[in-house]
Chain A
Amino acid sequence: MTSLRYAEALNRALREEMTRDPMVWLFGEDIATYGGVFKVTKDLLGEFGPGRVRDTPISEQTLTAMAVTAAMAGTRPVLEIMYADFLPLSIDALVNQAGVFDYIWGGQVSIPMVLRTQGGGGAGAGAQHSKSLDAFVAHIPGLKVVAPATPADAYGLLKAAIRDPNPVIVLEHKLLYNLRGEVPEDGGLIEIGRARTAREGRDVSIFATSRMVHLSLEAAEKLAAEGIEAEVIDLRSLRPLDVGAIVASVAKTHHAVVVNEGWRFCGYGAELSATIMEQAFDDLDAPVERVGAMDVAIPYSEPLEKTVLPDVEAIMAAVRRARR
């Protein structure tokens, strides 16, 4: 085990996979010479050269479509979309191409592409650089979507994503890049589609994604002082969803809170909530509580932004409502 920052863990995963397989190559805006705006691709240009670590023009729509066919034609592209807020420019290639070609062509193709991006608020980056658009991509059949919350998961899920024969979206979080944690020396692949129990508890289950996992753990510690033992499940894989882990936890605690940083209305939390109602209704002692961003654009002003985004207090309040 080594202690690495989240960004370093991603960097190591890329380096190892590029060393292992010469068909793995990286492209995106400012990923090579600049090393990536969050330094995830730092030093890789020098190690692998411009043929495999490629700066691109600012052309997200075409870059994403190129990843689809370059993957189909035998390479393993890893595309970085600098901000999740730019995903709408990529959406055509995801919803009309990456997710559907294998299906509408009768199972004849494999699209082993990875799209890495980062979202989330709390950095004062304003409405066009702060969103969590998890629901946009998790909505699409034929894709896999992961959202690592820890350095170990960032490392293991990115490696698994690169080796996966399907298109995989890796949703990182801008406030997690400096988070430090233990990462296995090598190997350490994490199966896509498996949730992780971040904290065990008997009274209520908190199902959280990405940075919300850490806020949920903090909330759980505080709630313990009130005598409420919360279980925190880090979903890790948004699609496919580990429904089994969700149902098992609800069967144990009989209370559920879902926490996702995206907008509540038609958001990823809504899907989680519906899944729990459909799959675990008989085990529930109370309605599912849902925590998410308020349904407004993410404002720049620090106090306003704090109000819009879910925080520890909001999660604690939701748990208390669920336990009432």
Chain B
Amino acid sequence: MAERATAQKRGRTRSSAATTSSPKKNSAPDLATLSRDEELKAYRDMLLIRRFEEKAGQLYGMGLIGGFCHLYIGQEAVVVGMQMCVKDGVDQVITGYRDHGHMLATGMDPKGVMAELTGRAGGYSKGKGGSMHMFSREKQFFGGHGIVGAQVSLGTGLAFANKYRGQDTVTLAYFGDGAANQGQVYESFNMAELWKLPVIYIIENNKYAMGTAVNRASAQTDFSKRGLSFAIPGEQVDGMDVRAVKAAGERAVKWCREGNGPYILEMQTYRYRGHSMSDPAKYRSKDEVQKMRTDHDPIEQVRLRLIENEWAGEDDLKAIDKDVRAIVAESADFATVDPEPDVAELWTDILK
């Protein structure tokens, strides 16, 4: 009972503190202090995602990527900050359709990801999955899911198996503000708390479910409160600031590892591009997008701190950018020349 009382208290404390004003203005209390190396790594990891996504956008425009392509640009601090809190290749990650950033953050090979986007044999799924359907046992990445909200139940099942097997593993289940309105999310919350499963539900609130603004679809727009009736603690976090993400992420990971059950993090973030490549995003103003880019860009924030602290000079940062561009260019080259899968692949991997 003491455990539950703590959970309730904690849930209330965090979400009420965060709702007093925009966390972007009021994020001072909950920022992780990053070392020079951590800032540099965060900068590099976020830049890799951004440059990778920019390249994916280009390849889509050239017709090399077909079907769907949902870019993560603007939201980089969320996955990079969370990955700083967990063990690579041990703790598990599962997410929805906007999944390229999550894969790169877990350390999956950009070549394999890009080649899957172009439907090549060398892609993570041999070209049979596409943008939304990739997996890596080595990096403990469990997809990539196109049925909105399904990853919440699936992530809960992973956490169940970890607990059943006595493994000290935490599952990060990412989903969006749109997915948060699916019924199975609440079935999952109930069972996760009932059975004290080690899963962190990370709601990436980027303000729009496709073209539907949060306040047009959600009766409760403070997503950190979505677990309150199950006594799951929740926090609203400035998801544009990697330090805020890391601070909240560490609290959540500690909570899970200590056997207290699930934790909810609402990451307040923003996607700069449309829902997918075919979305001109006419449901929001150019000013709104520009303001987020100018005032809150997650990469620019780290860059300014690196310069301000004299931890890196312009030349150092240019060198990182050059390095990242080379990795992305290499992945695009591979994804362009790698062969498409043989038709014989059609009949493989149906049954074991």
Task: Give Cα A130–Cα B95 distance, bound, in whole angstroms.
Answer: 37
Task: Give Cα A210–Cα B18 distance, bound, in whole angstroms.
Answer: 58
B147 x A62 contact (CB < 8 A): no
With A25-B164, A51-B164, A92-B147 already in contact, the answer to whether A105 and B351 are too (CB < 8 A) is no
Q: List 8 A-B contacts (CB under 8 A).
A: A61-B184, A67-B157, A73-B157, A73-B161, A74-B165, A97-B150, A110-B352, A165-B352
A106 x B349 contact (CB < 8 A): yes
Near B by CB (< 8 A), chain A positions 18-40 give: 23, 25
With A59-B191, A70-B164, A141-B350 already in contact, the answer to whether A93 and B150 are too (CB < 8 A) is yes
Choice from B94, B128, B135, B153 contacting A62 with Cβ under 8 Å: B153
Task: Give Cα A141–Cα B346 distance, bound, in whole angstroms.
Answer: 12
Interface range, B side: 35 or more
User: CB of B124 within 8 A of chain A?
Assistant: yes
Task: Give Cα A51–Cα B166 distance, bound, in whole angstroms.
Answer: 12
User: CB of A103 within 8 A of chain B?
Assistant: yes
Task: Give Cα A69–Cα B134 distance, bound, in whole angstroms.
Answer: 15
Complex: chain A residue closest to B348, CB-CB: A107
User: CB of A247 within 8 A of chain B?
Assistant: no
Contact partners of A108 in chain B: CB under 8 A? 125, 135-137
Contact partners of B136 in chain A: CB under 8 A? 108
Contact partners of B348 in chain A: CB under 8 A? 107
Task: Give Cα A144–Cα B150 distance, bound, in whole angstroms.
Answer: 22
Interface range, A side: 35 or more
A107 x B349 contact (CB < 8 A): yes
With A75-B165, A105-B129, A107-B348 already in contact, the answer to whether A57 and B190 are too (CB < 8 A) is yes
> Smallest distance from the beta carbon of A302 to chain B beta carbons, Å?
36
A70 x B158 contact (CB < 8 A): yes
User: CB of A96 within 8 A of chain B?
Assistant: yes
User: CB of B272 within 8 A of chain A?
Assistant: no
Contact partners of B128 in chain A: CB under 8 A? 103-104, 106
Task: Give Cα A142–Cα B350 distance, bound, in whole angstroms.
Answer: 5
Task: Give Cα A105–Cα B137 distance, bound, in whole angstroms.
Answer: 11
Contact partners of A66 in chain B: CB under 8 A? 153-154, 156-157, 160, 191
Nearest 3 A-B pairs (CB), nearest first? A66-B157, A69-B157, A107-B349
Task: Give Cα A220–Cα B155 distance, bound, in whole angstroms.
Answer: 51
Task: Give Cα A98–Cα B124 distance, bound, in whole angstroms.
Answer: 19
User: CB of A68 within 8 A of chain B?
Assistant: yes
